[in-house]
Amino acid sequence: MSRPSLDESYLAVAKIWAERSTCRRKKVGCVIVDQNGEQLSFGYNGANHGEDHCLDEGCLINNEGRCIRCNHAEINALLKEKKDVFKGATVYATVEPCENCTRTLAQVGIRRVVYIESYPNPYNHHFNKNMEWQQWVEPKEVKDDGAF
């Protein structure tokens, strides 16, 4: 049995943080890691402190079909730390960041985004020009037949 890669490991952690989400529509988790592989911060989508949560009041959906009651996981992760800490860091997210999160991630100097589930929109390309943008593809298990 081989051990998981760092990408696999941090995406697994992002999935665990997603379980803390208070949004009924979509549970999203995020982990931010520096260039040395050290975890800097984490976040999950949920309402502001002291505000009504989707779990209690239901989602507040805008005309684009998005829940606007919750802060996004990426924003909550960034708000936990000083933004200069994130220069050159990698974001691991369970879902591709939206254009608002992408703009914020770019502003604090994130260089790489790795996500599992695609959440396409026509605006990300305006904000992720200086970032590596990668959808994670699960590695296929290779059977070892014992031959060299």
Residue among 8, 19, 74, 117 flagged as catalytic: 74
Please determine, for residue 148, whether its predicted confidence score (pLDDT) is greater than 60. Answer: no
The residues that bridge with 135 in the sheet, in sequence order, are 115
Residue-averaged pLDDT of the chain: 88
Mean pLDDT of 127-133: 88
Please determine, for residue 145, whether its predicted confidence score (pLDDT) is greater than 90. Answer: no
Mean pLDDT of 38-42: 94
Cβ atoms of 44 and 73 closer than 8 Å? yes
Please determine, for residue 82, whether its predicted confidence score (pLDDT) is greater than 80. Answer: no
Residue 39 CA to residue 90 CA, distance in Å, equals 10
Active site residue 38: no
pLDDT digits (tens, 9 = 90+) for 83-102: 678 889 999 999 999 988 88
Reported pTM: 0.69
The token pair at 107 is 């502003």
Residue 138: CA count within 13 A, CB half-sphere: 6
